Amino acid sequence: MRIAILGFGSVGRGIARVIQEKDPGITVTGLADSRSGIMDPEGIDLPAALDRKEKKGLCGDRQVSPLNVVDGAEYDALVEVSPTRIDDGEPATTHIVHALSRGKHVVTSNKGPIALAHRRLHALAVSHGVQLRYEATVCGAIPVLHILQHDLLGNQVQALHGVMNGTCNFILTRMEDEGLTYDQALAEAREMGYAEADPTYDVKGIDAALKLVILANTVWDLGVTLDDVEITGIDLITPEAIRLACDRETTIRLIAEAIPEKGLLRVSPRIIPQGHPLLVEGTLNAVTLHTDLAGELTFIGKGAGSVETASAVIGDLLYLGEHHAGAH
Ligand code: HSE
């Protein structure tokens, strides 16, 4: 399979490194960051591109724009992993529209376009006979969308609850375990590269809400947006509140929940008893699905990180290679 990668930050570079190390039968024929691009139908030299990015901050040639790569490179699937912009989902949405319109599959970790324009993009993919896959947009390495779309077919999903933001979970865990202040814990999360480019998306609950919107629209086709989610972040949580919860053998976690029957879509800090399945540590995510046949299922895994996100992207690509090889 030939791919073009748009975005060469932590996720894009993680994908390139995994392809280089594991050689999963994927050739990168187009690559762009926000300021440069490169195309080679025979396959781009990935170690050289990684080296250029590290030394010069550019993966390719300044004359080649991301859109040049989307429109001009020879590939089967576009991998859109540029940073999320949630106000308008751009420029990623335009990249995805162009690729789908060329009859190319799209795999993305970019929450903006999927949360804002899922119906339109899905319809465009269907009309061009290609696939739009976005496992990496929710819960990092946990293959929750695949489980919902494939493994639980035949079940009715009644509700879902989850810890869906690794940065918030890391901050809360560090405040609890080490007695750090919110600001100290946030600084650590940023240093380790878990947080979004703008970490207010994380701590104000917006990132978790985007994931909830994506899940709700995928599972129930609700057509909801961020405005439909009741959101409270963790930025006002004090060490005292955490200590108090601890004294009562409970702890605080940022929980996202969707119960369509009650019209409920909410992200908020909640008090969780010790031993609760959603009580995970550090950057872990956890998601519980409530279903009619399979009952309650909880999945736990890394919710953030470059290689973990690459796992979801490469899983989507290999799935496409196996099941939908015939893109134009
Ligand atoms: N900033 C996000 C998180 C990255 O902390 O969960 C993964 O979506």
pLDDT surpassing 70 at residue 211: yes
More confident: 87 or 120: 120
| Residue pLDDT, tens place only, 10-50 | 999 999 999 999 999 999 999 999 999 999 999 999 999 99
Question: Do 190 and 292 sit in the same domain of this protein?
Answer: yes
Same domain, 169 and 284: yes
The owner of tokens 């409970």 is: 250
Residues 53-97: tens digit of each pLDDT = 999 999 999 999 999 999 999 999 999 999 888 889 999 999 999
**Residue located nearest, by CA, to atom 8 of ligand 1:** 304
Q: Which of 111, 138, 196 gets mutated to test ligand 1 (max ligand atoms within 8 A of its CB)?
A: 196
Same domain for 191 and 213: yes
Which DSSP letter does residue 135 get? Answer: G
Answer whether 214 contacts ligand 1 (Cβ < 6 A). no
- For Cα atoms 321, 325, 328, give the angle at the middle one, nearest 5 degrees: 130
Mean of pLDDT over the chain: 95
Do 64 and 177 sit in the same domain of this protein? no
Residue 212 lies in a domain: yes
Based on the fold, state whether residues 167 and 186 are members of the same structural domain.
yes
Torsion of CA 160, 163, 164, 170, to 10 degrees: 180
Chain-centre distance for alpha carbon 226? 16
Q: Which pLDDT value is given to residue 167?
A: 94
- Residue 174 belongs to a domain: yes
Q: Is the dihedral of CA 83, 107, 124, 4 positive or negative?
A: positive
Record the tokens describing residue 318, joined without a space.
């290999």
Percentage of residues in the chain with pLDDT exceeding 70? Answer: 99
What CATH number does the domain containing 65 carry?
A: 3.40.50.720
Ligand 1 centroid to residue 172 C-alpha, Å: 14
Q: Does residue 65 form part of some domain?
A: yes
Which atom of ligand 1 sits closest to the CA of residue 208?
6
328 inside domain = no
pLDDT at 328 over 80: no
Smallest Cα–Cα separation from 214: which of 149, 268, 153, 304?
Answer: 149
Residue 11 domain boundaries: 2-140+307-323
Single-letter amino acid code for the residue at 148: L
Rounded to the nearest angstrom, the distance between the alpha carbon of 164 and the centre of ligand 1 is 8
The verdict on 7 and 121 lying in the same domain is yes
Instruction: State the DSSP code for 29.
Output: E
SS3 75: coil
* Per-residue model confidence (pLDDT) at position 95: 98
21 contact partners, CB below 8 Å, separation of at least 6: none
Tokens of 294: 């399979």
- Whether residue 156 sits in one domain with residue 226: yes
**CA 85 – ligand 1 centroid, Å:** 14
Residue 109 falls inside a structural domain: yes
Q: Are residues 33 and 171 in the same domain?
A: no
Q: What is the pLDDT of residue 210?
A: 96
Considering the domain architecture, whether residues 110 and 32 belong to the same structural domain is answered as yes
Would you say the CB of residue 196 lies under 6 angstroms from ligand 1? yes
What does the alpha-carbon distance between residue 82 and residue 298 come to, in Å, rounded to a whole number?
Answer: 30
135 lines ligand 1 (CB under 6 A): no
Question: 103, 52, 108, 102: which is closest to 79 by C-alpha?
Answer: 108
On whether the CB atoms of residues 105 and 131 are closer than 8 A, the answer is yes
pLDDT band at 326 (very low <50, low <70, confident <90, very high): low
Contact 178, 207 (CB under 8 A): no
What are 247-304's pLDDT values in tens digits?
999 999 999 999 999 999 999 999 999 999 999 999 999 999 999 999 999 999 999 8
In a domain, 82, yes or no: yes
pTM metric for this prediction: 0.95
Looking at the fold, whether 63 and 192 belong to one and the same domain comes out as no
In a domain, 235, yes or no: yes
Closest by CA to 312, choosing from 154, 117, 142, 184, is 142
E strand map for the chain: 2-6, 27-32, 37-39, 77-80, 105-108, 132-133, 157-163, 230-231, 250-259, 264-273, 284-291, 296-302
CATH no. for residue 237?
3.30.360.10
Report how far ligand 1's centroid is from the alpha carbon of 271 (Å).
21
Same domain, 274 and 158: yes
Q: Is the residue at 103 inside a domain?
A: yes
Lowest model confidence (mean pLDDT) among 25-29, 188-192, 316-320:
188-192
- Best residue among 194, 201, 254, 283 to mutate for probing ligand 1, ranked by most atoms within 8 Å of CB: 194
Are residues 122 and 255 both part of a single domain?
no
Q: How many domains does the chain have?
A: 2
52 in Cβ contact with 60 (< 8 Å): yes
Sequence-distant (≥ 6) Cβ neighbours of residue 277 within 8 angstroms: 286, 288, 298
Nearest Cα neighbor of 133 from 120, 118, 154 is: 118
pLDDT for 325 beyond 80:
no
